[in-house]
Every structure is written in structure tokens, then in C-alpha cells.
Amino acid sequence: GEDVEQSLFLSVREGDSSVINCTYTDSSSTYLYWYKQEPGAGLQLLTYIFSNMDMKQDQRLTVLLNKKDKHLSLRIADTQTGDSAIYFCADNWGATNKLIFGTGTLLAVQP
Amino acid sequence: SAVISQKPSRDICQRGTSLTIQCQVDSQVTMMFWYRQQPGQSLTLIATANQGSEATYESGFVIDKFPISRPNLTFSTLTVSNMSPEDSSIYLCSVVPGTGPLTEAFFGQGTRLTVV
């Protein structure tokens, strides 16, 4: 089955850039997503990228996709303490409407 | 977009009992899904809630344990039956508005279930 992997933890200082990485195995995914989960809250869609794109920028967020290596990254510029959360990447497995989630990366922003 | 209301937001239940979780959407949606997030883990898809027919379950999940209803395009319920402490998780409802290719899935706030 599909496997989506992320590093478990990332710590950055406020104002620095954060880069969260994700690898996946399903080459038929058409969309890849980044979700944010704050403590005690549901999931918030941050951004998504279509599989035929290399890059997508949305304000402080930049998504890079290397389809050949099946590698996805999320860069957060000027990271703030409010960005502290768990970030999940996900893909739509087999180009269906089912989302397969990564293991999640806990981002800790130090003031 | 879609606004999703899940009830209850949290509950503490005795083992052997059942809990029904409700998911209400503010607009008609084609696709509705139920996910489970066990403590400290990622989300796992339980099933696709199909309107007017039986839900489609993922491997490892069965209808007897997680019966699902989807009476219309704005509402679904998930029941966690005969609960054990291993069922302690966050259960999330997700919807995909529209009928085209998946571009955006919205999630409810989740139901935090603790089984004692």
C-alpha cells in the first residue's frame, strides 16, 4: 500500500525559515497536501499542489515537489510562534478521493 | 468551502458501550469520510460514507465495529461499538465538496474519545 513518511520533529527560532519534508510512494497521486493541526484542534488545509507542478507559493508558504524522487517539502518563511503545530503531508492515493496521511512533523518555534 | 460540525467534541465512555458521532455539513457534499487518529499518531481512513448505500470500509475496519449512516448529502454518523480502551482516539469527519477531482478536503474539529 501507499506509504507517506515525514521526520517527526523540527525546531526553529522565530523569524527563521522552516522546511518540513515528506516522501511518498504512490506515483499515481494527482494532488499532494499540507495540513496543520494545532493542539486540541482539527485539521486545517494549508495548501496543496497538483502533481504536474514543481512549485507553488502562497504568501509565507512554498511547496516544492520533486515527482521523480517522490519528495515534497513545505517551506515556511519568517516562522512565528503561532506556526507551532503538527504538520501532515497527504496524497490522494491512487488518484482517488482517499487521503493517505504522513506520520506528521511537530514544528516547535522557539522565541 | 464547507463548514463541518461534529458532535460530541469529546466523551469519556465505559468499555462495552457504544458511542455515535454526528457530522453535519453546511452544504451538500458528494464525498464524506471518517478517519481515526490514535494518540500521537497520524490519521487513518476508516471508511467512505456513501449516501443511500452501505459505507466502504478500509482494510482493518468492519461494519459491525464501526457502523456508518449517510441518510443525505449533509449528514453522517459513525458509531464506535462495544468499545475497548484501544478505541480511545480522535475521530474526524472529512468532506470533499463538489463532484470533480479531489482538490480540497475539509475536516471537522474531531471527537476525542476516551474509553475507560
Which positions in chain A have a beta carbon within 8 angstroms of at least one beta carbon in chain B? Answer: 30-31, 33, 35, 40-45, 48, 88, 92, 95-104
- DSSP reduced 3-state for B59: coil
Which positions in chain B have a beta carbon within 8 angstroms of at least one beta carbon in chain A? Answer: 31, 33, 41-45, 48, 58, 92, 94, 96, 101-110, 112
Quick check: B91 and B77 in contact, CB under 8 A?
no
Instruction: Please state, rounded to an integer, the average pLDDT across all residues of chain B.
Output: 91
Find chain A residues with C-beta within 8 A of B102's C-beta.
Answer: 30-31, 92, 96-97
Please tell me the predicted confidence (pLDDT) of residue A29: 76
Residues A84-111 have a mean pLDDT of 87
Instruction: Please state, rounded to an integer, the average pLDDT across all residues of chain A.
Output: 90
Residues A61-80 have a mean pLDDT of 95
Find chain A residues with C-beta within 8 A of B94's C-beta.
Answer: 99
Residues B96-111 have a mean pLDDT of 74
Residues B101-105 have a mean pLDDT of 64
Instruction: Compute the distance between CA of residue A83 and CA of residue A15 in angstroms, rounded to an integer.
Output: 11
Please tell me the predicted confidence (pLDDT) of residue A110: 94
User: Which one is predicted more confidently, A1 or B28?
Assistant: B28
User: Which one is predicted more confidently, B103 or B38?
Assistant: B38
Residue contact A45–B103, C-beta within 8 A: no
Predicted confidence band at A85 (pLDDT cuts at 50, 70, 90)?
very high
Residue contact B109–A41, C-beta within 8 A: yes
Instruction: Compute the distance between CA of residue A20 and CA of residue A63 in angstroms, rounded to an integer.
Output: 10
pLDDT digit string (tens) for B14-63? 999 999 999 999 988 888 999 999 988 889 999 999 888 889 999 999 99
pLDDT digit string (tens) for A14-65? 999 999 999 998 777 788 899 999 987 778 889 989 888 899 999 999 999 9
Instruction: Compute the distance between CA of residue A74 and CA of residue A67 in angstroms, rounded to an integer.
Output: 14
Residues B87-91 have a mean pLDDT of 96
Predicted confidence band at A95 (pLDDT cuts at 50, 70, 90)?
low
Among A30, A43, A95, the residue with its CB nearest the CB of B92 is A43
Please tell me the predicted confidence (pLDDT) of residue A80: 97
Q: Which residues contact B44 (CB under 8 A, 6 or more apart)?
A: A101, B35, B36, B37, B38, B58
pLDDT at residue B103 above 70? no
